[in-house]
Amino acid sequence: MSTEKINLDIHKILTLLPHRYPILLVDRVLELEPHKSIKALKNVSINEPYFQGHFPTRPVMPGVLILEALAQTAALLTFSEEPSDPSNTLYLFVGIDNARFKRVVEPGDQLMLHCTFERHMRGIWKFKARAEVDGVVAAEADLMCAVRHTDKDA
């Protein structure tokens, strides 16, 4: 098993994840150690569509989207272990435990997304996930995800 750390740019991310604007929430993978961990980046811009209504006078990134960014990061780690074709693969969020929000995320922040692989059992992948801004935890959770292959000819 290799301990080489890999990084991925947006072009590679687009080949691995089915998400597209406005729901693609990972801009770059800074470190990826297959079967172990991943560190990714989301640049939070004032141009994000959710800031129009959350909140107009004080824009704050919704916590559920921070969790989604962490789930997408976990998907990239999963796909480093189980390569897939995004056109016939669904990566499903199946559980969130111990979610905590500890810092507001605002436009201009760089969200660092950390996921550590915990275990894979009966088709469910489990991760410890943490989002930070400037080294301060913004959110953390235990995530459970499942990979389902679809038959696109059906």
Neighbouring C-beta atoms of residue 31, cutoff 10 Å: 14
Report how far apart, in Å, the C-alpha atoms of 49 and of each of 44, 61, 115 are.
11, 10, 26
11, 19, 35, 54: the active-site residue: 54
**Overall size of the chain counted in residues:** 154
CA distance 117 to 143: 10
Respond yes or no: is residue 54 known to be catalytic. yes
Residues labelled as active-site residues: 54
